[in-house]
């Protein structure tokens, strides 16, 4: 499987929860009464820290990384026990390719809340970026084992991409299939499943995953080109013509459009 995350971008999937940072932070800490922590349980100090955290999350989602980091430092200074802040610290440094600092953030978040599935997911992604696949899968598995975690499709997807990157093709396909079952509209999952099947010459199966993607607004030059190659291999002239027209009309400056003009279907 030639793992690809086309122009949709896989970093988007790691930071996707930042817009709703509190809602997807994993399992909330517990109070002395063993109830889940809610807003009414927070002290004024905790509330001030969380406001700074939410502001940092907003800046981060807008791509204003340095401003986000500055607000985050203020949040941690006010309340260093807020595990979501350390999780965001890890994400910020991950975006900056400061892997040691990112790992420090995720580790501290898990010290404060060992059951935080989102932190486990983000930590796993970091480990994958460093080529530490076994350790990454361990973190992904911990996230998936959390019964209240509701982002399983995202974690199965990133685990699959990580395994494919490491050459663990069968395991990668299994993970991506799990992701697809949970979210069949995910373009990254559909593309990579189709790509792996195409490389095994299982063209009908590849088209099963790629067809709905190429019929949607999420199609891009790479997915249309893969569809065109499938049509070429199967001798489907009508589909090849339609996909080629779509590719050249929507992405005329792409390298895939140039390959189509040259009929370089081996690319």
Q: Domain residues of the chain, as ranges? A: 1-31+42-148, 206-267
The tokens describing 52, both together, are 């700074």
pTM of this structure: 0.82
The DSSP line for 109-150 is HHHH-TT-HHHHHHHHHHHHHTT-HHHHHHHHHHHHT-TT--
Taking the C-alpha atoms of residue 110 and residue 119, their distance in angstroms, rounded to an integer, is 7
Which CATH superfamily hosts domain 1-31+42-148?
Answer: Tetratricopeptide repeat domain (1.25.40.10)
Taking the C-alpha atoms of residue 234 and residue 201, their distance in angstroms, rounded to an integer, is 10
pLDDT reported for residue 125: 93
Q: What angle do CA 100, 189, 252 make, to 5 degrees?
A: 100
pLDDT digits over 134-144, tens only? 999 999 999 99
pLDDT reported for residue 4: 53
pLDDT digits over 39-69, tens only? 666 788 888 998 899 899 889 988 899 999 9
| 31 backbone φψ class: left, alpha, beta (φ>0; ψ -120 to 50) | beta
Query: Residue 206 above 50 pLDDT?
Result: yes
* Average pLDDT estimate for 155-175: 93
């Amino acid at each position: 499987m030639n793992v690809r995350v086309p122009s949709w971008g896989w970093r988007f999937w790691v930071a996707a929860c930042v817009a709703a940072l509190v809602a997807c932070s994993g399992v909330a800490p517990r109070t002395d009464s063993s109830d889940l922590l809610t807003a009414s349980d927070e002290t004024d100090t905790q509330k001030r820290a969380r406001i700074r955290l939410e502001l940092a999350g907003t800046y981060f989602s807008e791509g204003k990384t340095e401003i986000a980091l500055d607000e985050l430092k203020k949040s941690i200074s006010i309340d260093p026990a807020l595990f979501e802040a350390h999780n965001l610290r890890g994400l910020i440094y991950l975006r900056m390719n400061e892997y040691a600092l990112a790992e420090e953030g995720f580790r501290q978040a898990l010290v404060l809340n060992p059951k935080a599935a989102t932190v486990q997911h983000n930590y796993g992604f970091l480990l994958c970026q460093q080529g530490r696949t076994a350790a990454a899968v361990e973190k992904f598995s911990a996230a998936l084992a959390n019964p209240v975690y509701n982002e399983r499709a995202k974690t199965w997807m990133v685990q699959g991409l990580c395994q494919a990157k490491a050459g663990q093709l069968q395991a990668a396909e299994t993970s991506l299939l799990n992701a697809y079952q949970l979210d069949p509209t995910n373009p990254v999952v559909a593309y990579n499943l189709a790509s792996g099947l195409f490389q095994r010459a299982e063209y009908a199966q590849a088209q099963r995953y790629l067809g709905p993607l190429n019929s949607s607004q999420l199609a891009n030059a790479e997915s249309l080109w893969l569809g065109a190659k499938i049509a070429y291999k199967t001798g489907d002239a009508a589909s090849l013509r339609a996909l080629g027209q779509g590719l050249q009309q929507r992405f005329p400056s792409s390298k895939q459009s140039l390959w189509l003009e040259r009929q370089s279907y081996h690319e």
